[in-house]
Amino acid sequence: MGGIPEGDISSLKTPQAESPLGRSLQLFLRLLFSPAAPPRQEETRVPGLLRGSPTRRGDWALGFLDGIIALLAPSGLSPAQPQAASLRPLLSDGRSLRKGPVFGEVPFPGVLRPVQPPEARARPGGGGAAFILLARRRHGQRARQAGMAAAAVLAGLALLAGLYLWYYYKVVRGPKCPNETRLRGKTVLLTGGNSGIGKATALELARRGARVILACRNKERAESAVHDIRRESGNNEVVSMSLDLANLSSVQSFVDAFLKSEPRLDILINNAGVENGGTSPEGFNLAFQVNYLSHFLLTHLLLDRLKHCAPTRVVVLGSIVYIMGRIDLQNIQKPVDGLLKSFQAYCNSKLANILYTRELAKRLEGTGITCYAVDPGLVKTGIFRQHPIWAKLLLDTISWLFFRDPVNGAQTSIYCATQKGIERFSGHYFANCKVQEPFPKARDDAVAKKLWEFTERMLGIVE
């Protein structure tokens, strides 16, 4: 091999060194690995080479940089260069390349270190330099491999963090309702408005000047929500009324009281929902009755008032979980128990709501009433509170990371209740404040009609 004059390292420039990244790395490596003073003689002893922490740290750090560069380098550049083989293990003048400061196998200028002084080779046993180099190379290679593995792990974590940030800003936060439509003189009836999406929706509509009626089962929680909404909105036209959607007779009693006390109804929002299993007093699946059946009856009993106050709107809460739902008219109403079966019943009820909205829009065409199915997204609400403690903790943890808060979840409901010019989309499915096309199972008009007729028979409604 041809010798390189002492101190002349300019010939060791690499293609990568001509790039800004290469020059930056060279400067970094010089600062990191060039000692302030010449290395002391004892640093070349075998124990120091095998055990010395500076060498180990340097090899690990440069292995880490190798990994980062390998991930960032253009595919046309190969870290290994042909001249590397001619520079190892020893230069002609007795100097050796330290294994750490390299890009792949390419030496960086300014980082050559004497492993053994030239005169030491003349002494008996001076040939031990080859052993020193071999031991140092093996030791450094392991450290560099560990560094490259750490770089790969870091790159993976950075990728996951980037994906999560995208998911957070694109999905978790979601868009805000773009309009500021005022609702002074309008009356809004909203079920389940004492917490979660319902409360956030009621608060925003109250801020816009509407009279808001919260139809809730729990009187104490409803009054607390009314107090909060009045205080935050500055609107005292917020009241609560008792409604238990798990009991069909309660729906009838509520409608009787509402029609006597409220002369107007401009916006009906069928918001309330449960996810837990159980059986209603009528013997139906609880999720099916609360989420779908009772809202069907409520809307039916209020249609005359809605027509009288037209143009009016009906907003029906669906969910993205409809994609896992099934409409089996032989079993959809039957009670279920257990976590998985209860969740399936919840999915079925949300699919039923979307199909119901399509059929309702057809039947109300020309009446001045428009209706919209809403997907609020995955939202952190109290819907899991009835589950076993272990399931609740698991679901709460998942929801904390990946679900929207109620304010963001309420935006599409607010949009469908207030946005002007969407009347032509009556019966459609909305998500993220815009109309969306759901999966075919949620656009099956034949199934929607059968479900409607099945529900009428269950409720004893004769048109």
The total of other beta-carbon atoms located within 10 Å of residue 179's CB is 14
**Looking at residue 24, what is its pLDDT?**
52
Q: Is 346 a catalytic residue?
A: yes
Q: Give the active site residue among 322, 346, 356, 429.
A: 346
Alpha carbon 68 to chain centroid distance? 27
The answer as to whether 4 is a domain residue is no
Distance in angstroms (rounded) separating the CA atoms of residues 243 and 254: 6
Q: Same structural domain for residues 200 and 280?
A: yes
- The gap between the terminal CA atoms of the chain, to the nearest Å, is 101
Among the three residues 136, 169, 202, which one is the final residue of a domain in this structure?
169
Same domain, 221 and 132: no
Distance CA 301, CA 306 (A): 10
CATH number of the domain where residue 455 is located:
3.40.50.720
> What is the per-residue DSSP string for 227-288?
HHHHHHH----EEEEE--TT-HHHHHHHHHHHHHH-S---EEEE-----S-BB-TTSSBHHH
pTM of the model: 0.68
CB burial string 315-348: b at 16+ within 10 A, e below: bbbbbebbeebebeeeebbebbeeeeebbbbbbb
Q: At 187, is the secondary structure helix, strand, or coil?
A: strand
Residue 216's domain comprises 185-459
Q: Is residue 299 a contact partner of residue 268, using CB atoms and an 8 Å limit?
A: yes
Looking at residue 75, its pLDDT comes to 45
Residues in the chain: 463
Same domain, 255 and 301: yes
Q: What's residue 124's pLDDT?
A: 52
| Phi, psi for 107 (deg, rounded to 5) | -70, 145
Give, for all 463 residues of the chain, the pLDDT tens digit. 444 444 444 444 444 445 555 555 555 555 455 444 444 444 444 443 444 444 555 566 666 666 666 655 544 444 444 443 333 444 444 444 444 444 444 444 444 444 445 554 445 554 555 544 455 555 556 666 666 677 778 878 888 888 877 766 666 778 899 999 999 999 999 999 999 999 999 999 999 999 999 999 999 999 999 999 999 999 999 999 999 999 999 999 999 999 999 999 999 999 999 988 789 999 999 999 999 999 999 999 999 999 999 999 999 999 999 999 999 999 999 998 888 898 999 999 999 999 999 999 999 999 999 999 999 988 876 655 665 676 667 777 777 777 788 999 999 999 999 999 999 999 999 999 999 999 999 999 999 999 999 999 999 987 6
Residue 180 belongs to a domain? no
Same domain, 197 and 340: yes
Alpha-carbon radius of gyration of the chain: 36
Backbone phi and psi for residue 431, each to the nearest 5 degrees, phi listed first: -150, 145
Say if CB 178 and CB 433 are below 8 A apart: yes
Number of domains in the chain: 2
Residues 128 and 273 in one domain: no
How many CA atoms does the CB half-sphere of 334 hold within 13 Å?
7
Decide which of 127, 145, 169 is a domain's last residue.
169
The answer to whether residue 308 sits within a structural domain is: yes
Q: What is the pLDDT of residue 7?
A: 44
Q: Which two tokens stand for residue 394?
A: 């698991």
Q: What is the rounded CA–CA span in Å between residue 356 and residue 400?
A: 31
Element (H, E) at 370: strand 369-375
Which strands make up the sheet holding 267-270, listed edge to edge? 238-242, 211-216, 187-191, 267-270, 312-317, 369-375, 429-431, 434-436
Same domain, 140 and 194: no
Torsion of CA 61, 65, 68, 73, to 10 degrees: -170
**Residue written as token pair 């039947």:** 363
| Tokens matching residue 240 | 């609560």
Q: Give the per-residue pLDDT at 67.
A: 62
Q: CB neighbours of 129 closer than 8 A, spacing ≥ 6?
A: 90, 94, 96, 115, 116, 120, 121
Residue at 2 is within a domain: no
Do 274 and 243 lie in one domain? The reply is yes
Rounded CA-CA distance 449/442 in Å is 12
**Domain end marker among 137, 169, 201:** 169
Same domain as 165, residue 189: no
Q: Within this chain, do residues 354 and 256 fall inside the same structural domain, yes or no?
A: yes
Are 106 and 226 contained in the same domain?
no
